[in-house]
Amino acid sequence: MNGLDSAIRDAGAAAYAAYGSSADANVRYLTRFRTTDPVVYVAKPGERGMIVVPQMEHERAVRESIAAVVTRADAGYLEHVKAGETRWRATAHMIADLAAGPVLVPATFPLALARELESFHPVLLDEKGAVEGIRAVKTPDEIDRIRSVQRVTEAALERGIALIRASVPKGGILYRNGEPLTSEAVRATMHALLLAHGCRGVDTIVSCGPDTALPHNEGFGPLQEDEPIVIDIYPQDERSGYHADMTRTVVKGEPSPEIREIYEAVRDAKALAASMVRAGAVGTDLYRATVEFFRDRGYESDMRGFTHSLGHGVGLEVHEDPSLGPQGGALVAGNVITIEPGLYYPGIGGVRLEDMGAVTPDGFDRFTQYPEELTL
């Protein structure tokens, strides 16, 4: 990883160190090893990165990890523990021995570990996020993995929307098989399909009516007739760790004139933003163009209206670099991003539409193929 080597050298460090389980996207990216327990990763310029694992994980790590694998015993950890050092002290001592000089660490590095490590070598914070920057530019293999998750995501979304489409309105509530159709039921149905394909849905949004005015309201209870239903689904493939992300807004029945107009504005804003995406385009410029577009349509971008960024990177985290927000930088080919404008008004409701795709030298390779259909 030449980018990481450069960051180490530029910081005046001898090595880069990370600590965490595979829930830490940087650790998972650097090691490609799945583990619920924390491991140590150490990399020195010009050398293969090293992962330090318990003895019981050695054989599995050798099979799965792209890093060189060393046991904690071989790295000296157990000797430090036997000498009476605490867990944090022994871990720091081990990292210090492996690094043999100043250590560059990410912002997620545990404070307790950093404090102990400082007694051996200077600890330097990687303020620019070298690994995050590397992760932001996907390889063809990563793009294929994300596309695969997106296909499953769209199948799950269709399963949920099919329930809504087949529901029967009664007294303003949607019914299925004689029972109210709830956000929870739609969510569970989508999650079941995801699980059957090796993916995991977390905090999937199925909000309805007034709840849609709150962008991240998860939604609960019976779904309503003639009201917007926002479905935002962003599952993770459990084996690869990569996410997809998409949103659609639908209405079973007849939407209000306000919701219909909002939907059209959001749909057109998304199309405008997508037309501007290409390598070299600047995230903040796309965001500002969307703000101006909404302003021309009579919608504000403050505490209501367009209240969030235009989009974000997607990969081992569902929200990662780059940003399509007020502080977004230049896009590069290989970024995988979302475009997700939305408008939200208390007392009326909200609409969000979200597509995901890759930045190319001359455009936007949209992964999302699911149709946009307001009324069911």
Digit-coded pLDDT (tens) for 304-361 = 999 999 999 999 999 999 999 999 999 999 999 999 999 999 999 999 999 999 999 9
pLDDT band of 2, cuts 50, 70, 90 = confident
Residue 356 and residue 367 in contact, taking contact as beta carbons nearer than 8 Å: yes
Token pair in block for residue 148: 């695969």
163-168 long-range CB contacts below 8 Å, 24 or more apart? 163/189, 164/223, 164/229, 164/250, 164/252, 164/376, 165/252, 165/376, 167/223, 167/252
* Same domain flag for 196 and 159: yes
- Which pLDDT belongs to residue 1? 60
CATH number at residue 67: 3.40.350.10
- Quote the DSSP letter at residue 55: G
pLDDT at 365 over 90: yes
Q: What is the mean pLDDT of residues 57-64?
A: 97
Identity of the residue numbered 85: E
Cα separation, 121 vs 115, in Å, equals: 10
Q: What are the CA-CA distances from residue 314 to residues 249, 309, 356 (Å)?
A: 21, 14, 8
Partners of 323 in the beta sheet? 312
Residue 123 and residue 11 in contact, taking contact as beta carbons nearer than 8 Å: no
Q: What is the mean pLDDT of residues 37-43?
A: 97
Of 1-5, 54-58, 218-222, 286-290, which range is least confident? 1-5
The whole-chain average pLDDT of the chain stands at: 97
pTM metric for this prediction: 0.95
Q: Where are the beta strands (DSSP E) in 76-154?
A: 103-105, 123-125
Residues 6+ apart with CB under 8 A from 80: 89, 90, 93, 94
- Residue after which a domain boundary falls, among 107, 135, 163: 135
Strand pairing report for 68-71 and 50-53:
parallel
* Same domain flag for 77 and 92: yes
| pLDDT per residue as tens digits for the range 247-302 | 999 999 999 999 999 999 999 999 999 999 999 999 999 999 999 999 999 999 98
* Same domain flag for 131 and 161: no
* Same domain flag for 188 and 253: yes
How many domains does the structure of the chain reveal?
2
Largest CA distance in the chain: 73
Cα separation, 317 vs 244, in Å, equals: 9
* Same domain flag for 206 and 326: yes
Residues 6+ apart with CB under 8 A from 47: none
**High-pLDDT (> 70) share of the chain, %:** 100
- Which pLDDT belongs to residue 92? 98
pLDDT at 213 over 70: yes
Query: How many other CB atoms are there within 10 angstroms of residue 165's CB atom?
Result: 12
Q: What is the mean pLDDT of residues 132-147?
A: 98
* Same domain flag for 72 and 164: no
Token pair in block for residue 178: 């004689």
pLDDT band of 142, cuts 50, 70, 90 = very high
Burial classification of residue 40, based on how many CB atoms lie within 10 Å of its CB (0-12 exposed, 13-18 middle, 19 or more buried): buried
Q: What are phi and psi of 189, to 5 degrees?
A: -65, -45
Could you list the residue range(s) of the whole structural domain that residue 52 is in? Answer: 2-135
